[in-house]
A and B are shown apart, each in its own frame.
Chain A
Amino acid sequence: MDHIADLADKDPLSRRYFMELSAKFSLGLSLSVPFLPRYMQAQDGAKAKNLIYIYLSGGMTHLDTFDPKRGDVMGGTEILDTKVDNMKFGMHLGELAKQADKLAVINSMSSTNGAHDQGQYIMRTGYEKRATIVHPTLGPWAEKLLGKRGEILPDSVVIGQSTSNAGFLEPSLSPLPIADPSGGVPNTTPIVEGDRFERRMEMAQKLGSEFVKKFKYSGPDSYVEYYNQANRLLKSDELSAFDISGESNAAEYGTGRLGQGCLLARRLVENGVRVIELVSGGWDMHVDVAGSTSTKLPELDKAVAALLNDLDQRGLLDSTLVAIGTEFGRTPDINMNGGRDHYPAAYSCVLAGGGIVGGTVFGSTDGGGKKVKSDPVKPEDFLATIGYAMGLNLEETIYSPTQRPFTFANKGKPVTKLFG
């Protein structure tokens, strides 16, 4: 298995850096605990080798999507039957309804975080937001626990975001941010080529070393690592993994960022990227929820349906977990602006592929979609379910550089019933 230390030998420019870095971060001790409840152990023969986590930023309305109810709370949204008897969707999800047998819908999500930032943070890291530490997202966690998979391409990519980090883990585990899925990785044509390019890189490394040595901060160190990564990437043929311009079925996914992002995610999975987070905004519907859902939901519907179809046809669905997450649901009451406000008490998330038994509705809310009635699932549990599907050891303790202990999904309990 490749480890960052092995890569150092392949790249002479980075040797010194890696020596320093591994000294700094040789804290990733693992604790093995002999007797664990079954749900805490890594799943034997976990099927999900890859993860596509579609994150709907702003708080997806649960009533108008995966947990529709009868009565006033629906505003103008009508209820749609799906391919599965007990699974009902809002009227804008017609394409997904046809693939309901691939989906596990969790309608009993609840969170204590009613603000976007905090809510999103826990749904993407498994931890409450704190002012004293930054927790890693799923990609860096998976790479830390499973080891690095690819040699050139990063193990994780985040689409729809222009910056990223690895939290308290090594900066080399940071997901590669792709702001615009259609744009791929910008600025990949070097200004000069061949020996002269090498000369420039070597010079930059020499001239920068004094500064990097002078300051013991994570910032300059991380830039050294990003230069190494960029240099490797530029020299490889694998850059084409980020280019969706040649994809023939682009239209099926939809031309918006969400659709194009799903398409890029599929392409990256094919090229060996392990974790792709796709962040899509526009779900904070405080005003005119009917109008907003009529544009956003068809976009989501089309993109995810195309993704599931495409993965299935390419034989990748079984090994790829597709997750849809969001920070909270939206109020059953429609406000004076025709919108719905934040509602962490009950919301919905979705899983498909990667060993998930499709056609499952897990957990429920009461008749008005106000309170979780059965099988509550917290954000940590949702992420633990993802980790379980990927075969991550949920009990493995990783220490931050400040010696604080952390585990993937912060001791959340995976919903093992969703697996065959």
Chain B
Amino acid sequence: MKYCDRFTLVGASLLAAFSLFAGSLEARTWTSTDGKTMEAAFLGIEGNNFRFRMDDGREVAVPRDRFIRADQDAAERLDGIGDDTGVKASAQKIDALLAQQLKKHGFTSFNEPLPDDLFVRRVYLDIIGRIPTREEFLRFAESARGDKREALIDELLQSPGFASHLFNYFADMYRLHASDFNNGIRMDPYIQWWRDQLSENRPYDELVVDMITAKGNVGQNPASGFLLRDTGMEFDAFANFGQIMLGIDISCAQCHDHPFDEWTQGDFYEMAAFFGNTQRSTGYRASSSMMGGGSIGMPNAPEGWKDDFMKWAENNKGIVPRDPQNSREFRYFVNALGWNVDDNEKMETILPHDFRGSGGKPNEVAKPGTLIGATAKTGGKTRREALADWLTDPENPRFAQVIANRMWSRAFGRALVEPVNDFSDDMAEKASQPEVLDFVSREMQRVDYDLKQFMRILYNTRAYQSIATAEEPDFADSYYFQGPVLRRMRAEQAWDSMMLLANGVEIDEKTGADGSFYKKILDVDFHSASHEDVWEHYEMWQSARGNRMGMAVIDDSSDDLTPVIVNDDQLRASELPQPATGASMLDTFGQSDRIITDAHNYDGSVPQVLALMNGTVTQQLTGVSSKVVSDLEELDGPDDKVRGVFFTLLNRFPSEEELSLGVGMIEDFGDDGISDLAWALMNSPEFLFIQ
């Protein structure tokens, strides 16, 4: 098989990028389940029918299930493309705004259009977080469709990999951490909630509202994990809120007036006061017996429930409260049940006794007030509801700006406003492209915070589909987005690509532990459950204590409460425990430890290169019984084999020189030459970068 010649002609990608929607009206061959075919252009899906235009102009509707599976899938995909004509217009508008700025600053135009091979690798990594397989690469390379780029973008956006890769981004931003908490208290249901929301592509503003207004424990309401994450650190929680929702770093205003911006110390506490009556309980009571009565433990249960239950367990189940050995695990369980968020009207935010900034006096009660934009309307709502409404109100542009700016940086490797979590007061001046920021923020609102649709727009811009800028732009300089910047893979992209190389595409569909077991334990309706019912949950708890609980899965449809422990670590990063445990490859490649927001690290290190040189995946691919060698067995001749290795690892064509180097290796060393070549490509810096 020779694929080289057919492929090179598609350098004219500029044309392709601008011919977005014509493609779906091209006629193609459709095959029915009984083997009949028809030539027709696909028009769309209507209920259970597909609509087509035949060659003679006639429009017909055919039941979906008449077609073979592959064609049903194709129709779904095509339907996605034709669905939103706004994408094309929107992408063009962004390009026009960028082009204007480029001209103004002395650039003739965008960087050269991205060649097809680099395009495939980039969109796979950017959209689904892993490199393509050789087969996926070739499928694109050999496709003659005029709209194949848009089609691939759509296909990838529909793949489960999209949510998986986006999850890694939010896991870093929202500091998703399964077990940062004492005594068996875990976050797995909250983490699974994020996976589920992203899989369903729920609008981002709705997620935020859910998280801000949640009540209950993480089993009863997994979104409560957002507020529970920082139990005991309420002001840090608020500072994080400011960074990720409003793009303002106000942590310094906790102790004094902000030195650079206009915010006073009083402003900080007024804004924080929206959470002033938010009660996060741990079930702990300071320096006295945790078993004691009157603890602040459980607003999610009827008054006194906890004490009653403890007494009942003492009388009926042999729990000895005063014996720490005997009762420890039981206390952990009860604390976990009571670890919840609620509103407590008796609580207030009090200005600190050493308050020294302006906008308040020491020990004063802070009333809720907004830092920027319009005031929040509180009538008839809880403080948190009022805050959520204010935040996501179209009149408050900041919320949309922050998420649009962040999504932009995912595509381009650099944000319109840097850093993404600190717009500060002079944001408009700081944005290197204020018009673009303004436009994409309104687009974010127009698509109703549908992140998939928003990314679709960005990926279809000419700016995105340009080769990466060759010289590293300075932090401090404005950047005009003549193309994306060169990026190193995230730790998760490197990991997922390694998993793909070792295990194939099945990793896309494989799921890990989903927190279901732990969720089931905590999801108790305390008003109706009997003590005996809750005790059953305790028995579940005991059957998979500690870290195993995070790995435990349960089939909700059955009555059998035995956990299944997921021990598989050959999963995509998003399906593994969050974050990966110390000294794993994810850790080595810079995955965030989830202590602070956006802490992913892109630096290289000796341990990283040692992992690529000698690690288990490299061993599998290039050691004795090399997987690369056996995967390429079907190919004849050293030329095709060399190309095969390049397609597998770097997803591009070798240059003439590279080809002859590789061929020389194979001629001299046979199969060893193939695995040596594969090793060399994995260990050239190019492997880790997205160009």
Contact = CB atoms under 8 A, between A and B. Distances in A.
Q: Which of the listed residues A133, A162, A219 has the most CB atoms from chain B within 10 Å of its own CB? A: A162
A313 interface: no
Interface in B210-262: 231-233, 235-236, 239, 251-252, 254-255
A203 B676 contact: yes
B622 A174 contact: no
A133 B418 CA distance: 12
Given A165-B603, A286-B232, A179 B676 contact: no
A39 interface: no
B508 interface: no
Nearest to A232: B606
Contacts of A133: 475
Interface in B611-632: 611, 613-615, 618-619, 622-623
Interface stretch (B28-36, B149-157, B560-568, B588-596): B588-596
Interface stretch (B525-533, B550-558, B682-690): B682-690
Contacts of B608: 226
B70 interface: no
A224 B232 contact: no
B496 to A, nearest CB: 18
Contacts of A179: 582-583, 587-588, 607
A147 interface: no
B308 interface: no
A314 interface: no
A188 interface: yes
Q: Which of the listed residues A133, A191, A281 has the most CB atoms from chain B within 10 Å of its own CB? A: A191
Given A162-B583, A163-B601, A203-B665, A214 B286 contact: no
A310 B459 CA distance: 59
A334 B611 CA distance: 45
B658 interface: yes
Given A114-B254, A208-B686, A219 B679 contact: no
B661 interface: yes
A338 B284 contact: yes
A338 B583 CA distance: 32
B681 interface: yes
A334 B685 CA distance: 51
Interface stretch (A115-123, A248-256, A412-420): A115-123
B470 A76 contact: no
B286 A226 contact: no
A81 interface: no
Contacts of A207: 658, 661, 680-681, 684, 686
A163 B588 contact: yes
A216 B610 CA distance: 24
Contacts of B614: 187-191
A416 B652 CA distance: 60
A1 interface: no
Contacts of A219: 472, 486, 488, 602, 604, 685, 689
A287 B588 contact: no
A72 to B, nearest CB: 12
Interface in A312-351: 334-339, 341-342, 344
Interface in B322-376: none
A117 B596 contact: yes
Nearest to A344: B255
A230 B613 contact: yes
Contacts of B610: 185-188, 230, 234
Contacts of A224: 685
B227 to A, nearest CB: 15
B476 A200 contact: no
Interface in A198-227: 199-201, 203-208, 210-212, 214-220, 222-224, 226-227
Contacts of B619: 191
Contacts of B607: 162, 176-179, 185-187
A235 interface: no
A114 B691 contact: no
Interface string A29-43: 000000000000000
Given A188-B614, A203-B665, A215 B691 contact: yes
Interface in A77-128: 112, 114-118
B605 A163 contact: yes
A162 B672 contact: no
Contacts of A286: 231-233
A230 B608 CA distance: 10
Contacts of A176: 605-607
B316 interface: no
B282 interface: yes
Q: Which of the listed residues B296, B475, B589, B609 has the most CB atoms from chain A within 10 Å of its own CB? A: B609
Contacts of A208: 683-686
Nearest to A337: B232
A343 B681 CA distance: 50
A154 B661 CA distance: 34
A205 B680 CA distance: 8
Interface string A230-256: 100110000000000000000000000
B486 A162 contact: no
B474 A402 contact: yes
A112 B252 CA distance: 9
Contact of A114 (B255, B606, B615, B665): B255
Contacts of B235: 341
A26 interface: no
Given A131-B422, A179-B607, A196-B672, A191 B680 contact: no
Contacts of A234: 610, 613
B236 A115 contact: yes
Interface string A265-297: 000000000000000010010111011000000
Nearest to B421: A131
A114 B655 CA distance: 54
Interface string B519-542: 000000000000000000000000
B282 A337 contact: yes
Given A75-B287, A203-B677, A287-B182, A131 B588 contact: no
Contacts of A116: 595-596
Contacts of B232: 286-287, 335, 337, 339
B596 A162 contact: no
Nearest to B288: A338
Contacts of A183: 583
A289 to B, nearest CB: 9
A174 B603 contact: yes
A164 interface: yes
A68 interface: no
Given A133-B475, A162-B587, A191 B661 contact: no
Given A191-B623, A210-B655, A217-B486, A338 B588 contact: no
Contacts of B231: 286-287, 337
Interface string B373-406: 0000000000000000000000000000000000
A136 interface: no
A176 B691 CA distance: 27
A336 B679 CA distance: 57
Contact of A164 (B252, B476, B603, B661): B603
Contact of A171 (B604, B665, B677, B683): B604
Nearest to A75: B287
18 contacts: A76-B287, A112-B255, A115-B251, A116-B596, A162-B588, A177-B606, A179-B583, A179-B588, A185-B606, A187-B615, A191-B613, A220-B686, A222-B603, A226-B604, A226-B609, A230-B610, A230-B613, A341-B233
Interface of A: 75-76, 112, 114-118, 131-133, 154, 162-165, 171, 174, 176-180, 183, 185-192, 196, 199-201, 203-208, 210-212, 214-220, 222-224, 226-227, 229-230, 233-234, 281, 284, 286-288, 290-291, 334-339, 341-342, 344, 402
10 closest A-B pairs (Cβ-Cβ)?
A338-B286, A208-B684, A286-B232, A203-B680, A179-B583, A211-B686, A187-B610, A204-B680, A217-B472, A223-B685
